[in-house]
């Protein structure tokens, strides 16, 4: 599956129910204007805009504040009402305190990732900003927003930090066997929307009765997302000046990939 990720600060509109927007390049802004898409973002009627609650989603910033700053700017431009981070704020990067400060200042609600747990294990007595922030993070968030129950966990429910949902192969195509596997594992899962991180993959797929979203890593995939509720539409956003990477792995760190 081509995730339809747009390049350089643009947006792909994803309707998991119909599959519309799931493949193909982002339309030319001039040509798309007449179809309700302008400058890479969804264009709705005033009534629909009032009815839609926009939720900003980012994940796995890994102590890299610049991509987080870019994602937050895109969220402001699109007037999101809430912002959530799916964890792994720590790890790999060297500007952790600055990254945490951005999340705090933006009133982003975050959950624990495995890297936060490892950070606290290594810095058990620390009283710095990251440690204080991480100690107060929940493992999951389970809320009802605009009539839809959403469940946020770093890897997979109920509260796994490591058993990530990997639906894509190295080229960004959906792996049918993984789709079937996770559809089975999520059978009986009650929330309408499951939002995860951890795997550095970018997707919005309906698995059984559940819409499953991974906004990707701001550091490695160069992406974030906006969830529209109650419509359950997803905008996949590419950070300005970056090329999206639908499925990132450590082998790419040694290739000519725009990080």
Residue 6, domain member (yes or no):
no
Residue 27, domain member (yes or no):
no
Residue 247, domain member (yes or no):
no
Q: Residue 42 above 50 pLDDT? A: no
7 confidence band (pLDDT: 50, 70, 90): low
Q: Residue 63 above 90 pLDDT? A: yes
Residue 28, domain member (yes or no):
no
Residue 124, domain member (yes or no):
yes
Residue 5, domain member (yes or no):
no
Residue range of the domain that includes 48: 11-18+36-241
Residue 154, domain member (yes or no):
yes
Name the average pLDDT for the chain. 86
The arithmetic mean of pLDDT across residues 135-156, rounded, is: 98
Residue 142, domain member (yes or no):
yes
CATH (domain of 191): 3.60.21.10
The structure tokens listed for 111 are: 């959950």
pTM assigned to the model: 0.83
Number of folded domains that form the chain: 1
- The span from the first CA to the last CA of the chain, in angstroms, equals 23
């Amino acid at each position: 599956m081509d995730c339809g990720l747009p390049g350089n600060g643009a947006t792909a509109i994803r309707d998991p129910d119909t599959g519309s927007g799931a493949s193909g390049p982002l339309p030319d802004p001039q040509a798309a204007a007449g179809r309700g898409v302008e400058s890479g973002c969804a264009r709705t009627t005033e009534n629909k805009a009032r009815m839609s609650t926009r939720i900003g989603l980012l994940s796995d910033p890994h102590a890299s504040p610049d991509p987080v700053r870019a994602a937050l700017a895109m969220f402001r431009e699109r007037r999101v009402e809430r912002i959530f981070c799916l964890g792994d704020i720590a790890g790999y990067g060297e500007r952790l305190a600055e990254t945490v400060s951005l999340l705090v200042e933006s009133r982003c609600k975050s959950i624990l990732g495995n890297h936060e747990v490892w950070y606290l294990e290594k810095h058990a007595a620390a009283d710095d900003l990251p440690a204080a922030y991480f100690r107060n993070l929940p493992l999951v968030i389970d809320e009802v927003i605009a009539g839809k129950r959403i469940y946020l966990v770093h890897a997979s429910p109920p509260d796994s930090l490591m058993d990530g949902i990997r639906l894509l192969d190295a080229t960004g195509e959906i792996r049918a066997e993984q789709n079937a596997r996770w559809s089975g594992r999520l059978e009986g899962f009650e929330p309408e929307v499951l939002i995860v991180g951890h795997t550095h993959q970018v997707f919005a797929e309906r698995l059984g009765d559940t819409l499953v979203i991974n906004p990707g890593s701001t550091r490695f995939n160069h992406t974030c997302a906006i969830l529209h509720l109650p419509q359950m539409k997803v905008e996949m956003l590419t950070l300005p000046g970056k090329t999206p990477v639908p499925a990132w792995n450590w082998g790419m760190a040694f290739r000519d990939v725009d990080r």
